[in-house]
Structure formats: C-alpha cells, structure tokens
Amino acid sequence: MLAPLPTPATPRKPAADGGSSAPRSSREPSGTAAQGIIPRNLADVLEPRSLCYGVPAGPGWADCAFLTGPHGVARSLARVARAHPGASPEVAASYLANWYSAAVVAPAVASYVLLRRVPDLTPARMSLRVLDSGWFDRTALHRPVGTVLADALPAEGGDEHARPPGDGPDRVVGDLAALRGVLVDEVLAHLSPFVRELRARVRLGYPALWGAVAAQCARAFLLTERATGDPEAGRDEADAFFERAAPTMRARPRWHEFVHRGRPYIGMRCGSCCLAHRLGDEYCTTCPFTDDTERERRMRAWIDTQGHGGLAV
C-alpha cells in the first residue's frame, strides 16, 4: 500500500480539535479535590494530552466506570461516528479503542517509567474529558494514590515534586518486576470490560481490539524518550511489559529501528491494522501491511515534520 503523506502513529488526534487539545500547564487546576502538581517530565511526555488530580467538573468529563460500560461505550461510538461521517461501525470502534486506551495507559506507563509509580486505574476513580471528535484530551486521577517502588519513595522532607500529594497510603513493592506486574494488572483490569463491550457491538475480534491497546501501550513507552533521552529504555520496558501482558495483548507491535540524520530511532510495526486510512487520505507510519522500506520512509518523513526532538512514533 502506498502512502500519499507521512503520518504519525495511528490513529492520530483529529486536527479539528486544534486548540482545545493544546499542551496545558501542568499546574492547571480542574478538579475539586486532591489537586496536585504533575511533574514536568511527565507532562512533557504526555503532550498533547494532559493529566490532573482530583474529581473533575465541567463539560466533556465522564468517569471511566461509565465510559467502560454499555451506555458509555454506545455513547462514545455514536460520538465518533457523528464526527466522522462515513465511518463504519468497525472504523469508529477502532478509533475509539485507540483513543480511549491511550488516555488511560499513557499516564500510567509514563508514571511507571519516569516516577516508578503506578496510579490506581480503577475505572470509578478516573475520569476522561472527551472532545466533540471523540478524542480524549485529559485524564483525571481522582485520588493520586497507587503503587510505588520502595526505592522511589521520597526521603522525609524530600522533593515534593517527586510524589503527588495523596489522600491515602500508597502500596509499596520491593522490586521493578512486581511494579511492572501491577501496571499490567491495572491496565488489563481497566480495559477488559471496555474491550468486551466493543467486541459485542462490532465485527472486530479481540486480537484487533487488544492490538489497538497494545499499540497505544507501545507508543506510550517509546514517548518516554522525550524525558529520558534514551530510545532504548522505553523499548526495553515495553518488551518486559508485553511479556507479562501475554496472551491478552498477543498482537503487540514489533520494533522498527533505524538511523536518521545520524541519530538512532525506534518506530513500530503494529500487530493489527487500525483502519485509520479509511477516514482520510493518509496512511500509517505503523502499518503492518507495508514493507519495511516504505514504513521507514513514512517514519523519516514524520520525524522531519516534527522539528527538533521529533520521534518516530
């Protein structure tokens, strides 16, 4: 399949959402309780999405217990279909699977890699803000507690930014493998009912739906390079994550590594097609059906469109 235009990892944020999804201050208040400061490196990795603490109020917000249930999934699918005339139910479901899972896993993965902290992803304790297009631009953790690696706990009187203020105790684990296990369990527990609801409504199988989740997990790991400066760290963490997440996320992405303008990059070949090009004339940088040469050409072009600090994902 030929690509008329280079594109980012799939499916991307709708351009129509423009300014409303622009990067926000990490201190921007939006909740009604337990607001805290999002560490700068975490905020940088998540852009153009953003994260806040507390129970949010205002238009567009819904809690994840609703969004993962039958009424929430039906409403989200209808919104995506309305915003994208001509989208089949399967295309709408693929977009929703990618966008919803990204809004849930991106903060969790980035927090795990950068802070060695896994937030509580219980659906009733999280909310997302949805735009008219169906894209989710903000994630709220109602209670900034979770599971933390013992070594990552701040010393008494230490850096307040290293830990979000909480209203309850954190769970502490002693090693990274245990923390990774918590991350996998939290992600699968949150997203399983959501994927089941989608599966019951459209002709997409579990490999495709969990493949969308896996793609967003992999992308979240690779984007931590924005903070670490190390392209291999996110890749290695992702490999360990997928080892624990099998067999549910069987259709995980494979890595596509190359050097561009003298710098190493890591991109992805997704485990399943996201159906993104059916809604536009652009093709994916992560397409599993194109050959390596064409995929790499798309990724090089995508890197160049981003300017300094651009990544392959």
Binder among 77, 198, 209, 274 for ligand SF4 (CB under 6 A) = 274
Q: How far is the CB of 276 from ligand SF4 (least distance, A)?
A: 5
Of positions 13, 117, 277, 295, contacts ligand SF4 by CB under 6 A: 277
* Binding segment (CB under 6 A) for ligand SF4, from list 36-44, 57-65, 260-268, 281-289: 281-289
Taking the least distance from each CB to ligand SF4, the nearer of 10 and 41 is 10
Closest separation in Å from C-beta 113 to ligand SF4? 26
Q: How far apart are CA 103 and CA 95, in angstroms?
A: 12
Q: Which of 9, 10, 41, 216 binds ligand SF4 (CB under 6 A)?
A: 10
Min CB(1)–ligand SF4 separation in Å: 6
Going from the C-alpha of 31 to that of each of 28, 44, 147, 256, 310, the distances in angstroms are: 9, 20, 22, 40, 32
Report the residue number, 180 or 277, with the smaller CB distance to ligand SF4: 277
Q: How far is the CB of 256 from ligand SF4 (least distance, A)?
A: 13
Does 48 sit behind a cis peptide bond, omega within 30 degrees of 0 on the bond before it?
yes
Q: Judged by CB, which is closer to ligand SF4: 7, or 147? A: 7
Nearer to ligand SF4, 110 or 274 (CB): 274
Residue with Cβ nearer ligand SF4 (21 or 272): 272
How many other CB atoms are found less than 10 A from the CB of residue 207? 14
- Contact flag: residue 313 with ligand SF4 (CB under 6 A): no
Shortest spacing between CB 283 and ligand SF4, in angstroms: 4
Task: Please tell me whether residue 128 binds ligand SF4 under the rule CB under 6 A.
Answer: no
We find the least distance from the C-beta atom of residue 35 to ligand SF4, in angstroms, to be 39
CA-to-CA distance for 126 and 151, rounded, in angstroms?
26
Q: Which residues contact 66 (CB under 8 A, 6 or more apart)?
A: 72
Q: How far apart are CA 245 and CA 249, in angstroms?
A: 6
Q: What is the CA radius of gyration of the chain?
A: 18
Segment lying near ligand SF4 (by CB under 6 A), choices 27-35, 112-120, 133-141, 268-276: 268-276
Q: Does 121 bind ligand SF4 (CB under 6 A)?
A: no
Residue 287, interface with ligand SF4 (CB under 6 A)? Answer: yes
Round to whole Å and give the CA distance between 256 and 179.
Answer: 27
* Interacting residues toward ligand SF4 by CB under 6 A: 1, 10, 273-277, 283-284, 287, 289
